[in-house]
Amino acid sequence: MAFIPHTEADVKEMLAAIGVKSIEQLFEEIPANLRVKSLAGVPDALNEMQIGRLMSERARMDGRPLNFIGAGAYEHHIPAAVWAITTRGEFYSAYTPYQAEASQGTLQLLYEYQTMIASLTGLAVSNASLYDGASALAEASLMAVRANRKSKSQRILVPTTIHPNYRKVAAATAAGQGLRFEEVPFVSHGRVSIESLAQYDGQDITAIALQQPNFFGALEDVDAITDWARARNIFVIAIVNPISLALLKPPGEWGGGGVDIAIGEGQPLGVPLSCGGPYFGFITTRMEHVRQMPGRIVGRTVDLSGKQGFTLTLQAREQHIRRAKATSNICTNQGLLVTAATIYMSIMGPQGLERVAAASHARTRELIAALTRIKGVRAAFEGPHFHEAVLLLDRPVAPVLQMLASGGILGGLDLSGDYPELGNALLVCATETKTSADIDSYANALSDAMKAARAA
């Protein structure tokens, strides 16, 4: 793309053309008292030399901790080819290009992405991605309200085994449109029990969201709950980890008929941990609901001479055509991260993904076995897990984590803030990136930290 600078003469010419004296005059409509002179807490601008120095000083402060935190964002090995290809000039953009059909390569990549995600989740259609997993739950809930015509209540059941941030983001995003998110507490074993759903029998419920593996890493009885919901005309929104789908049953096959909508966080597919983002969300659904699905969808077609081509499709749902009645204000996608994820999936292939999932599961079992041998540490919940689990300590978690951190180990997520009812609960995760030596290091450090905590 050409770089076209505005010279002072260009600016003058443009201002003259519209009959304005200065750029400042264009903003005169904004009253002086509404204008921001400077932002509180944001320092003055630095020049290139100063910012370069600041950033290299900050970079030196970065540790290389041994990480056992998962909780929605996961450390996986990313083959070097993934970002080497993603950052090539042809791909290196965050956006679906304007005049999208002029960029056939980008559209083809998005089409391949959609195909892979649809195949992983076992559902017919995928869009070209959403912003992240949490906002995907909000979009899926709004979509369920539009698509479930048998329900008028706009009530969405959200078991507390769903990631707390997802529940908060969904409520913050969709509550203004009248959706009511009702929390279903888990009773025991860190899972939703079908008995606890009986209280909703005979009520008008629009949808239930169900996370698999859930926030505690535990496997829910997704077949029974899906069947329960579908028998009552309640939509099922699956929240899934894409890596886990290499081993677990895809949501399209849950229960007798599969779920209505599947969403999730795409970060585990080739996107590095990076201070919480940017990550990307995915959403897939049954063909019958495709017109209620938000966002961009790329389709495959043929041109006038019968050659294959790719195009944005079903755009009549979108804002630029449907205005206020669009299915969503989402009319873009996370292009760059989806590019990385597509390349990651194509390099790994189904077998590679399965090996990552199986290794992560095995490492987590090894980790739990090693940690629960320590005095004062036990597993919170019995039953199958994927690559995360909750441990209960006989002392407060925060000081123990602090001691571990001082030794370069991120020991997990302290759950006492979001789940005070669990007591001294710690959520830990091990992926294929952890070796037996890493797990030993963690176990030794935790053992020391627990001893120190008892002595204090």
Partner 1 sequence: MSNVPADLKYTQSHEWVRGLPDGTVEIGITDHAQHALGDLVFVDVPEAGRKVTVGEACAVVESVKAASDVYSPVAGEVIAGNPDLAGKPETINEDPFGRGWLMRVRPSSTVTGLLSAKEYEAVLAEEGA
Instruction: Please give the residue ranges that form the binding site for partner 1 (CB under 8 A).
Output: 149, 291, 316-317, 321-322, 325
Q: How far is the CB of 57 from partner 1 (least distance, A)?
A: 54
DSSP state of 242: T
Q: What is the distance between the alpha carbons of residues 27 and 199, in angstroms, rounded to a whole number?
A: 57
Our CB check for partner 1 shows the closer of 23 and 321 to be 321
Closer to partner 1 at the Cβ: 189 or 291?
A: 291
CA separation for the pair 178, 154 (Å, rounded): 7
* CB closer to partner 1 out of 204 and 253: 204
Which residue reads 């176990």 in tokens? 443
- Residue 439: what residue type? I
N residues, the chain: 456
Please state the closest distance from residue 291 (CB atom) to partner 1, in A.
Answer: 6
CB of 315 to partner 1, least distance (A): 9
Burial (Cβ within 10 Å: 0-12, 13-18, ≥19) of residue 258: buried
Residue number, 285 or 431, with CB nearest to partner 1: 285
The residue (of 316 and 452) whose beta carbon lies closer to partner 1 is 316
Q: Can you count the helices (H) and strands (E) in the chain?
A: 12, 15
- Residues 372, 428: Cα–Cα separation, whole Å: 12
Q: 236 burial class (0-12, 13-18, 19+ CB within 10 angstroms)?
A: buried
Q: How far is the CB of 304 from partner 1 (least distance, A)?
A: 16
Helix (H) or strand (E) holding 362: helix 335-371
Q: Which is nearer to partner 1, 286 or 385 (CB)?
A: 286
Shortest distance in whole angstroms from residue 200 CB to partner 1: 23
For the bound state, the minimum distance from the C-beta of residue 312 to partner 1, rounded and expressed in Å, comes to 13
Specify the residue, 321 or 362, whose C-beta has the smaller distance to partner 1: 321
In whole angstroms, how close is the CB of 262 to partner 1 at the nearest point? 23
Distance separating alpha carbons of residues 260 and 286, to the nearest angstrom: 6
| 397 within 8 A of 414, measured Cβ to Cβ | yes
Distances (CA, A) of 433 to 77, 78, 439: 6, 10, 11
Query: Using CB atoms within 10 A of its CB, is residue 351 exposed (0-12), middle (13-18) or buried (19+)?
Result: exposed
Nearer to partner 1 by C-beta: 322 or 375?
322
Write down the least CB distance from residue 285 to partner 1, Å: 15
